[in-house]
Structure 1
Amino acid sequence: MKLDLGNITAFVTVARAGGFREGARLSGNSASRLSEQVRRLESQLGVRLFNRSTRSVALTEAGESLLARLAPALGEMELALDVVNSFRNRPAGNLKLNVPTAVARLVLPHIIPDFLAAYPEIRVDIIVEESFVDVFAEGCDAGIRYDESLEQDMIAVPIGPRFQRFAAAASPEYLARCGTPSHPRDLLEHACIRGRFASGATHPWEFERGDESLALHTNGPLIVRPGGGTDLAVEAACAGTGIVYLFEDWLQPYFANGRLVPILRDWWPQFPGPKLYYSGRRLVPTPLRTFIDFIKANPARS
């Protein structure tokens, strides 16, 4: 059976987008054209690939089976076509990265603008989330994370500062009212603003000085989800709600304007900076290879 590649591509586009309108927006085609292409494919195959209603479009069992078999093949085709990019004077294409909020806020602003200025034909799509996901199943080219356990086929490249620190801080008003901790254990008697991840886990606050280190499970009146809730945690600390524990770079502007005061500075722990990771089993797309070469050639900027 000879099938039209355009019809197959239309089917995959609609399936990945979750509907004809979104598929049209992402692909640049019209929804009616995508609908007609899918209808032709269904007619040729003799099976319904989508269940359609006025409110939703969902894959049938046959559609799910077809997508599972087609997606890897189309991915390989896209990578094969991307090889042509290496023969262009200027690389082009899309680069999709999955990163945590701290990287989006503290690291990428020092890299992405200069990268886009150097390679104007590359478009960068940044997905910001805290959980460690299968970035390739999500359609991303690479991920950036801190100190994660990577599978053996992954390649990791340092990006951004090679080392960072966590810092503890509180407002002048809070310290005047509740006192200033002189040892990390004193935090157990203070109001601490904590973070809880989507998994339900609350990470301990870690401190180190010389050969001494400790991890504390603090308590306090406010718990936020890291990422979207982090700004709230900082503003609450500025308002005197309690003590915040966060990236030093994130809190530095608040130290500078006096809204927060650093505490227990001698105990702030240092940890390795983030790494960009990607699969060593796949052909590396030209935009990603260009980005990797850029951060390697500009370590000071990154």
Structure 2
Amino acid sequence: MASPDLADLDAFAAVARARSFRGAAVGRGVSPSSLSEAVRRLEAALGVRLLNRTTRSVTPTEAGQRLLERLAPALADVAGALDAVNQFRDSPTGTLKLNVPVVVARLVLPDFVGPFLKANPGITLEITAEDTFVDVLAAGADAGVRYGERLEKDMIAVPLSGPQRYQAAASPAFLARHGVPRHPRDLLSLPCIRHRFSSGAIIVMEFEKDGEVVRIAPDGPLISSSLELELRAAEEGLGVVASFEGFLAPSVAAGRLVPILEDWNPPFEGPFLYYPSRRHMPAPLRAFIDFIRARRAEA
């Protein structure tokens, strides 16, 4: 039996975890065909099929699953051994891959990226912004950013920023025409601009006051996954829009939108950086965590 190549073993592990050649390829920044060829080489070298492939799915065979279970810790040890040399450099080097929600990429990370990269010139930061909750390891990321209610219980979580706030708003002309809502249920009789996540789910507007939580799914003239379209429609008086306060801030400051139901929008806990527990943490990730903690200590 030919000795398998370490890179091919690593490629197999990535595909087996992601259950997809395309998903693994995106996480690693390579083509699906290169991963497919690597797995074929490995299967030829070992003389056994490791993955069952169909047009809809990729799943490990029994042999593939057993190999993955033994291989994953070994590959982590190899990565840790190679990364250990970082401690002998003046600053760490390598790539840090983060998977984050779109709102975090737009409102939170801009304050971190520049200062972090200037302080760590040897690190390349690779950020994927998406609203689908993913397995960070399967997606090829070192860590993810999500809000508390979406965190896996076996993950280590580090606060990334302070509290945030959700806000509803409408244009001055809209409020003059329809009146100012006094209770969230008033929105059920008003046109609203609704947001659709990439998963296909349409956001439910949620409000809270004095322990009372109100969730509503109003009707309206526009459903969109584009914040820019939603804001423009609201500014033109087509309906009430609800989103993160930071998204609406420029329109509110310019007078194009007016906040409503403000006493129904209390602050909530901000996002967390989360990552799996490992015996060895990659130096770029450790540097980012240290940077976050230092920034929060200064705040």
1:89 CA drift (Å): 1.4
User: Aligned AA for 1:124?
Assistant: L
Aligned residue in 1 for 2:219: 219
Aligned residue in 2 for 1:249: 246
Cα distance change of structure 1 residues 2 and 261 upon mapping to structure 2, 3 Å threshold: same
- 8 A contact 2:8–2:42 mirrored in 1: no
Cα distance change of structure 1 residues 290 and 213 upon mapping to structure 2, 3 Å threshold: same
Aligned residue in 2 for 1:97: 98
- 8 A contact 1:158–1:274 mirrored in 2: yes
1:167 CA drift (Å): 0.7
Are residues 1:296 and 2:293 paired? yes
Aligned partner (choices 228, 231, 242) of residue 231 of structure 1? 228
- 8 A contact 2:167–2:262 mirrored in 1: yes
1:243-296: CA deviation from partner (whole Å, max 9, x where unpaired): 001111111111111221112223222111111111124421111111000010
Describe how 1:43-54 pairs up with structure 2 within 5 A.
44-46=45-47
User: Aligned AA for 1:132?
Assistant: F
Aligned residue in 2 for 1:54: none
Q: If the length of structure 1 is used for normalisation, what is the TM-score?
A: 0.78
Aligned residue in 1 for 2:135: 134
1:109 CA drift (Å): 0.2
Are residues 1:183 and 2:183 paired? yes
Describe how 1:141-220 pairs up with structure 2 within 5 A.
141-160=142-161, 162-197=162-197, 198=199, 200=201, 202-208=203-209, 210=210, 212-220=212-220
1:65 CA drift (Å): 5.8
Distance 1:250 1:158 in 2: 21
- 8 A contact 1:153–1:281 mirrored in 2: no
Aligned residue in 2 for 1:9: 7
1:110-164: CA deviation from partner (whole Å, max 9, x where unpaired): 001110011011111111111222111211111111122534432111112x211
1:52-85: CA deviation from partner (whole Å, max 9, x where unpaired): xxxxxx9996996697354553233112321221
Cα distance change of structure 1 residues 230 and 66 upon mapping to structure 2, 3 Å threshold: farther
User: Aligned AA for 1:216?
Assistant: I
- 8 A contact 1:47–1:62 mirrored in 2: no
Look up the SS of the partner of 1:163 in the other structure: coil
Distance 1:8 1:63 in 2: 18
Aligned residue in 1 for 2:237: 240
| Structure 2 residue ranges without an equivalent (≥5) | 53-57
1:169 CA drift (Å): 0.6
User: Aligned AA for 1:8?
Assistant: L
Identity of aligned residues (%): 49
RMSD over aligned Cα, in angstroms? 3.4
User: Aligned AA for 1:248?
Assistant: E
| Structure 1 residue ranges without an equivalent (≥5) | 52-57
- 8 A contact 2:208–2:264 mirrored in 1: yes
Look up the SS of the partner of 1:272 in the other structure: coil
Distance 2:45 2:264 in 1: 68
- 8 A contact 2:166–2:265 mirrored in 1: yes
Are residues 1:269 and 2:270 paired? no
Aligned residue in 2 for 1:88: 89
- 8 A contact 1:99–1:128 mirrored in 2: yes
- 8 A contact 2:8–2:41 mirrored in 1: no
User: Aligned AA for 1:176?
Assistant: A
Look up the SS of the partner of 2:140 in the other structure: coil
